[in-house]
C-alpha cells in the first residue's frame, strides 16, 4: 500500500476521550472509534497522536497505548466534566494548546482527522493556520439530530454553520454509511468531497466466546431467553420503546423464563443518571423488576460474553448515525432488532442479520423480537449471516486500511488535483 509510513497524524476528539472507560457519562461510540482507529493506524505504521480535553484532575496528561499511539489531554476549560455543547466555548484554548504542544515537541503533523463538529471547528482553525490536510467524521449531524429532538438547543445555529463549513472546506469527509452521505448531500451542502468508510469492530474479541460458554460464565440458565440492550442511557436511544415492547411480550409469554438486560449507564448523580432513573421507574411501574437486570457499565472483558449469551440484541434508537452496538452484536453471532433509521439501515440487513422496524413503534418491536425468538432455526441462520457480514465489511483493520489509503492520497496530492481528477471522471 502506498502509505506515508512514519508520518505523524493528529486525531482530534475534543469531547470524546479515547482513553476513558466507555459506557458512562457521554462516553460512547466516538471514544471507541477514535481509540480503535488510532491503534489500528499505528499498527499500519503511522505515528498517531489523539488529542482530547483534560477533563479530570486525576487523569494522566498523556496515555501511551502503543509505542506509536498515544492520547494527549490538553487544558481547555476547567478540569472537570463539561457537557459537550458547553465545551465549544473552550475551542480557542484547545487550538492554542495544541499549537503549543506541536511547538514544544517539535512535531509537524501531516494531517488531522477531526471527530464531531466541535473538533471540526478546531480542524478548520488548524487548516487555516498550518495548511494541514483535514479529514472529518461527523459522528452525528446536527441537521438530522434536531429533527428528532423536542427542544432545539441555543448552540444549534453555530453547530449547523460549522458542519456546513466542514463539508465544504475539509479535504475529505468520511461518511460512515451511504445513508449519512445522502443526508449530507440533501441537508448540508452539495459541495465538498465525501468518502464512505464505515466504523469497525474487533472481530477477534466479539465472537471469541460461544453462546453456551458465555451463559455458563455469566451464570445464565440455558432455558432463559435473554433480550439485550447495551449503550448510553439517553432518551434518543429509545430504551423506553424496548422496555414497553418486552413488557407486552412477557404478557403473551408468561411461562417463558425471560431476562431483559439493560446494560450501560451511570449512577444517579452522573449526567445520564436521569434517564436511567426514568427507565428504572418505568420498569417498576410495569411490574417488570423480577426479570429486568441493570448491570450498569459493562467493561471490555465482559461485553463479548453478554453479547454472545443474548438471544437477541435490540437497538431501538430514534436516530443513529452509525451505531457500533449492532456490529458488535452481529460479530458475536447475535441477531439484531433495530430501528429502521440512519446507519442501522446499512449495518443490519433486515431478514438476513436481524430485523428493522419503525422507531418508537412498541408493537413492531414486540413482534420482531417475538418472531426471532419463536424460530430457533431461522435465528441460527441470522446468526451465521450476521457474523459473516461483519467479517466482510466492518473489521477495524479493514477500516483503518481504507483510512490509511485516503490519508496517504491527501498528503501526497494537493486537494485541488483530486477535485480535478474527480471532475474528469
Ligand atoms: N459500551 C461499553 N460498555 C457499556 C456501554 C457501552 O463498552 O457499558 C460501548 C459499546 O460496546 C459501543 C459504544 O459503547 O462500542 C457505544 O457506541 P454506539 O455507536 O452504539 O453509540 P453512541 O454511544 O456512539 O451513541
Question: Does 413 lie in the same domain as 371?
Answer: no
Q: Are residues 179 and 304 in the same domain?
A: no
Long-range CB contacts (< 8 A, 24+ apart) of 27-32? 27/232, 28/231, 28/232, 29/139, 29/199, 29/322, 29/323, 29/324, 30/115, 30/116, 30/139, 32/324
Q: Could you tell me if residue 176 is inside a domain?
A: yes
Q: Which of 231, 310, 328, 339 to mutate to test the pocket of ligand 1 (most atoms within 8 A of CB)?
A: 231
Q: In the beta sheet, which residues pair with residue 350?
A: 354
Q: Which domain holds residue 367?
A: 211-393
Whether 22 is in the pocket of ligand 1, judged by its Cβ within 6 Å, is yes
Q: How far is CA 325 from the centre of its chain?
A: 8
Alpha-carbon torsion (113, 119, 120, 125), positive or negative: negative
Distance CA 307, CA 311 (A): 9
Per DSSP, the three-state class of 76 is coil
pLDDT exceeds 50 at position 424: no
Distance CA 165, CA 153 (A): 20
- In the predicted structure, residue 340 carries a pLDDT above the cut 90: yes
Helix ranges, 131-238 (H)? 142-145, 156-169, 178-183, 211-218
Distance 326 CA to ligand 1 centre (A): 10
Ligand 1 pocket check for 230: Cβ under 6 Å: yes
Residues 6+ apart with CB under 8 A from 170: 114, 120, 123, 124, 127, 134, 135, 136, 192, 193
Whether residue 205 is contained in a domain is answered as: no
Answer whether 137's CB lies under 8 Å from 176's CB. yes
Which residue carries 472509534 as its cell?
33
Q: Which residue has the higher pLDDT, 86 or 24?
A: 86
Q: pLDDT confidence of 149, banded at 50, 70, 90?
A: confident
State how far the Cα of 67 lies from the Cα of 166, in Å rounded to an integer. Answer: 31
Pocket lining: 329 vs ligand 1, CB cutoff 6 Å: no
153 and 193 in a single domain? The answer is yes
What was the pLDDT predicted at 421? 46
Residue 265 lies in a domain: yes
Phi-psi sector, 87: left (phi>0), alpha (psi -120 to 50), beta: alpha
**Which of 182-186, 272-276, 382-386, 397-401 shows the lowest per-residue confidence on average (mean pLDDT)?**
272-276
> Does residue 406 share a domain with residue 384?
no
**Distance between CA atoms of 170 and 115, rounded to whole angstroms?**
12
Which of 102, 173, 181 is closest to 410 using CA atoms? 173
pLDDT, mean of residues 302-314: 97
- Is residue 409 over pLDDT 90? yes
Q: Which residue has the cell 455469566?
A: 218
Is residue 3 domain-resident?
A: no
1 domain-assigned: no
Say yes or no to pLDDT of 417 above 60. no
Digit-coded pLDDT (tens) for 343-364: 999 999 999 999 999 999 999 9
> Which numbered atom of ligand 1 lies nearest the CA of 296?
8
CA-199 nearest atom, ligand 1: 19
Round the average pLDDT of the chain to a whole number and report it.
Answer: 92
pLDDT value, residue 21: 75
Q: Is 206 helix (H, G, I), strand (E, B) or coil?
A: coil
Count: domains in the chain? 2
Ligand 1 contact via 326 beta carbon (within 6 Å): no
Same domain, 73 and 187: yes
Nearest to 133 by CA among 166, 101, 110: 110
Pocket test for ligand 1, best of 302, 305, 324 (most atoms within 8 A of CB): 324
Q: What angle do CA 7, 13, 19 make, to 5 degrees?
A: 90
Task: Kindly state whether residue 2 falls inside one of the protein's structural domains.
Answer: no
Same domain, yes or no: 191 and 274: no
Q: Assess whether 290 and 363 both reside in one domain.
A: yes
- In this model, does residue 110 exceed pLDDT 90? yes
What is the pLDDT, as a whole number, of residue 267? Answer: 61
**267-286: average pLDDT:** 85
Please check whether residue 24 lies inside any domain of the structure. yes
CB 336 within 8 A of CB 326: yes
Ligand 1 and 389: CB distance under 6 A: no
CATH code assigned at 139: 3.40.50.2000
* Contacts of 152 by beta carbon, 8 Å cutoff, 6+ apart: 146
Q: Do residue 29 and residue 131 come from a single domain?
A: yes
* 259 and 367 within one domain: yes
Same structural domain, 179 and 216: no
Query: Would you say residue 402 lies in a domain?
Result: yes
Residue among 105, 127, 89 nearest 12 (CA): 127
Same domain assignment for residues 229 and 155? no
- Whether 312 and 300 share a structural domain: yes
Say yes or no to pLDDT of 10 above 60. yes
Amino acid at each position: 500500500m502506498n502509505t506515508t509510513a512514519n508520518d505523524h497524524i493528529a486525531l482530534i476528539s475534543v469531547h470524546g476521550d479515547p482513553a476513558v472507560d466507555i459506557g458512562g457519562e457521554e462516553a460512547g461510540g466516538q471514544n471507541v472509534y477514535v481509540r480503535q482507529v488510532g491503534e489500528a493506524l499505528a499498527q499500519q505504521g503511522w505515528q498517531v497522536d489523539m488529542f482530547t480535553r483534560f477533563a479530570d484532575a486525576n487523569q494522566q496528561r498523556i496515555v501511551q497505548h502503543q509505542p506509536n499511539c498515544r492520547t494527549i489531554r490538553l487544558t481547555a476549560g476547567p478540569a472537570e466534566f463539561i457537557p459537550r455543547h458547553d465545551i465549544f466555548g473552550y475551542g480557542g484554548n484547545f487550538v492554542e494548546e495544541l499549537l503549543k504542544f506541536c511547538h514544544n515537541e517539535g512535531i509537524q503533523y501531516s494531517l488531522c482527522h477531526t471527530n464531531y463538529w466541535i473538533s471540526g471547528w478546531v480542524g478548520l482553525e488548524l487548516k487555516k493556520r498550518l495548511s494541514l490536510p483535514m479529514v472529518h467524521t461527523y459522528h452525528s449531524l446536527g441537521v438530522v439530530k434536531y429533527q428528532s429532538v423536542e427542544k432545539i438547543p441555543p448552540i444549534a445555529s453555530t453547530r449547523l454553520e460549522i458542519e456546513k463549513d466542514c463539508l465544504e472546506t475539509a479535504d475529505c469527509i468520511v461518511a460512515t454509511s451511504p445513508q449519512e452521505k445522502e443526508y449530507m448531500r440533501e441537508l448540508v451542502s452539495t459541495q465538498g468531497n465525501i468518502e464512505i468508510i464505515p466504523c469497525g469492530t474487533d472481530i477477534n474479541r466479539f465472537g471469541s466466546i460461544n453462546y453456551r460458554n458465555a451463559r455458563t460464565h455469566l451464570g445464565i440458565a440455558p432455558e432463559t431467553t435473554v433480550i439485550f440492550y447495551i449503550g448510553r442511557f439517553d432518551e434518543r436511544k429509545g430504551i423506553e420503546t424496548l422496555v414497553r415492547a418486552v413488557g407486552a411480550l412477557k404478557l403473551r409469554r408468561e411461562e417463558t423464563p425471560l431476562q431483559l438486560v439493560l446494560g450501560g449507564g451511570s449512577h444517579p448523580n452522573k449526567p445520564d443518571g436521569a434517564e436511567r432513573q426514568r427507565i428504572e421507574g418505568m420498569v417498576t411501574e410495569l411490574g417488570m423488576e423480577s426479570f429486568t437486570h441493570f448491570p450498569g457499565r459493562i467493561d471490555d472483558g465482559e461485553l463479548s460474553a453478554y453479547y454472545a449469551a443474548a438471544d437477541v440484541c435490540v437497538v431501538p434508537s430514534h436516530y443513529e448515525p452509525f451505531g457500533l452496538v449492532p456490529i458488535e452484536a452481529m460479530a458475536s453471532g447475535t441477531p439484531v432488532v433495530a430501528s429502521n433509521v440512519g446507519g442501522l439501515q446499512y449495518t443490519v440487513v433486515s431478514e438476513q442479520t436481524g430485523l428493522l422496524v419503525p422507531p418508537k413503534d412498541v408493537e413492531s418491536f414486540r413482534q420482531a423480537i417475538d418472531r426471532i425468538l419463536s424460530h430457533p432455526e431461522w435465528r441460527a441462520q441470522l446468526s451465521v449471516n450476521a457474523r459473516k457480514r461483519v467479517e466482510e465489511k466492518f473489521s477495524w483493520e479493514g477500516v483503518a486500511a481504507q483510512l490509511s489509503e485516503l490519508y496517504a492520497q491527501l498528503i501526497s496530492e494537493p486537494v485541488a488535483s483530486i477535485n480535478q481528477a474527480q471532475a474528469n471522471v
